[in-house]
Chain A
Amino acid sequence: MNEKELIGTEQIEPITEGETEYDFYFGPAHSGSGNFGVRLKIDGEKVIAARADPGYLHRGFEKLMEYRVPMQNAVLSDRVCILEALNWNLVHAEAVDELTGVEVPQRARYIRVLMAELSRLQSHLIWYGVMSLALGFDTGFKMAFGYRDYILDVFELITGGRVYPAGYICPGGVRKDLPEGYEAKIRRVLDQTEEMMQKMKHFDNVVFARRAKGVGVLNLEDALRLGTTGPVLRACGMKTDVRKDDPYEIYDGLDFDTPTEKEGDAYARCLVRGKEMEESIRIVKQVLDRMPEGKVREPAKIPPPSRVKIPEGEVYVRNELARGEGCIYMRSVGGREPYRVKIRGPDFLHMIPVLEHLLKGAQIADIPAIYWSLNICPADMDR
């Protein structure tokens, strides 16, 4: 096609003879990063300017949640970003719990942390698989998704679904109790994940070090100015973690570290995520050792929708997701449904200001390493 192609509202210019500048549309269907496009202006092999083009997955969650009672919203909340569904379930459940003022039972709190950390592990395995695929290392992709399947088998046993937990972590506790024999299965899965992490250490000298070192450097003051959070900020040298600074559930009683790196390049981000997986395994082992007995939901029966009432008030809940800081602002005026729900995903900041800043001046061959080292998920950017 040599003619001018219309993409959205801006035209992509064709290449004219004698010039080295051209437009390039990177997207919108990528393996492992969903639906998201970036318009690039390239001179030869170097990117001069980048503009993000979001909106392919905009479903209007904030308005959808205004028409449903909290128990139905729990089912919706795992679709905010399906790659870490249980973590988003937890954010929403905490927001409703703080508004209603209910006392969540201790056993439910431990189960919530267990599921959230397992979900973080499988999200990092997806990231590893997709990053390997992007850098050309196909074996890493297949192994990561193979080992992730063992974690999904645990989810199938506990929540009833491999990928969609259907609001397992719901307002008031969790939806059902853990089945028989869960502990042996989870410990076996942790051993298998540690096996995968041994393989990751063996792989990383060859592929990641050569393509990701020194690429996409983000220094600390740019990171703070652009609103970065999570592993991307920790790789720039800032030691911060919402689970330690603003603790929720039972995290203030658990023992874990916050790994940081100083260089701020793509390789540093990979190292931080690898170490975070080790910390997650440590947390799961502590939770399994200390699991108390008791009820799992308060109230024990699901109330009929016509008799639900959320007390008036407003809350802002912050959680540490696998990708960064995920928050919900919920406002209620005393009715059945929330009056306003604002969902703040970490990728909203990572995909638009940070990506545009990092892609400026990069070579085309470095674009995959930069793009996938940020571990972005278009679903929680668009909501």
Chain B
Amino acid sequence: MAETTHKENKVIDKISSKFKIEGKLQRERRIWVATDKESLIALCNFAKDLGFEHLSAISVTDWPEEGTFELTYHLWSYSEKILLTIKTKIDRTNPTVDSVIPVWEENAQIHERELHELFGVEFKGNEDLAPLFLEDWDGPPPFRKDFDWRESVRHRYYDKANERERAYWD
């Protein structure tokens, strides 16, 4: 088992010696690292220099009781064949974070545009945050946990006075 995770441990050691954070080795080829918002861009640049040049996905998880959004950046290295995930938490009431476009360019831009529309996260430095999927949407960002989509659909599209649509209001 020690041989198969040798290169993952090397990557964890390199990151922890530069940034003083502990990486977690989940299984072979999977490393998870948590950091704070301020050192995010520095860690991303360091990861790209280590060989993690493919940004697979950016995702946002909504934690309403804690009052945070958790961002996850999933990076793949073609040379080392390891997946590194960088996690960071930002404040939910004022969700702004620096964009990673300077590191991964257009690949990051489209992911951030989608997350801006669906969760309402502001990415500083991303100029093109126009709506992507939804048209003429004036409600709250729909993928947040406190958005009750059943109620919203009922109010927008079903008329209580219309007798055929009244069944949806039960």
Please determine whether A348 and B78 come into contact, CB atoms closer than 8 angstroms: no
Q: Please pick, from B32, B53, B110, B135, the residue contacting A352 in the complex, using a CB distance under 8 A.
A: B110
Q: B125-141 vs A: 1/0 string, CB under 8 Å?
A: 00000011111100000
Q: Please pick, from A55, A245, A339, A348, the residue contacting B134 in the complex, using a CB distance under 8 A.
A: A55
Q: Please pick, from A54, A229, A314, the residue contacting B133 in the complex, using a CB distance under 8 A.
A: A54
Number of A interface residues at 8 Å Cβ cutoff, please give it: 35
Is the CB of A224 closer than 8 A to any CB of chain B? yes
Instruction: Tell me, rounded to whole Å, the shortest Cβ–Cβ distance linking B4 to chain A.
Output: 12
Distance between Cα atoms of A353 and B59 in the complex (Å): 18
Please determine whether B74 and A227 come into contact, CB atoms closer than 8 angstroms: no
- In B97-117, the 8 Å CB interface with A consists of 104-107, 109-110, 114
The DSSP consensus for interface residues of chain B is mixed
Instruction: Tell me, rounded to whole Å, the shortest Cβ–Cβ distance linking B141 to chain A.
Output: 11
Please give, as numbers and ranges, the residues of chain A lying within 8 Å of B78 by CB-CB distance: 238, 240, 245
**Residue of A whose beta carbon sits closest to that of B61:** A340
Please give, as numbers and ranges, the residues of chain B lying within 8 Å of A357 by CB-CB distance: 106
The DSSP consensus for interface residues of chain A is mixed
Please determine whether A349 and B107 come into contact, CB atoms closer than 8 angstroms: yes
From A56-64, A138-146, A189-197, A292-300, give the one contacting chain B: A56-64
**Residue of A whose beta carbon sits closest to that of B77:** A245
Please determine whether B81 and A246 come into contact, CB atoms closer than 8 angstroms: yes
Distance between Cα atoms of A225 and B132 in the complex (Å): 21
**Residue of B whose beta carbon sits closest to that of A341:** B59
Distance between Cα atoms of A344 and B29 in the complex (Å): 19
Instruction: Tell me, rounded to whole Å, the shortest Cβ–Cβ distance linking B168 to chain A.
Output: 18
Is the CB of A49 closer than 8 A to any CB of chain B? no
Please give, as numbers and ranges, the residues of chain B lying within 8 Å of A353 by CB-CB distance: 106-107, 109-110
Binding site for B on A (CB under 8 A): 8-9, 54-55, 58, 60, 62-63, 224-227, 229, 238, 240, 245-246, 314-316, 318, 325, 327, 329, 331, 339-340, 342, 344, 348-349, 352-353, 357, 382
18 intermolecular pairs with C-beta atoms under 8 Å apart: A58-B134, A224-B53, A227-B54, A227-B106, A238-B78, A240-B78, A245-B81, A315-B26, A318-B56, A318-B76, A327-B57, A329-B59, A339-B61, A340-B62, A344-B74, A348-B110, A349-B110, A353-B110
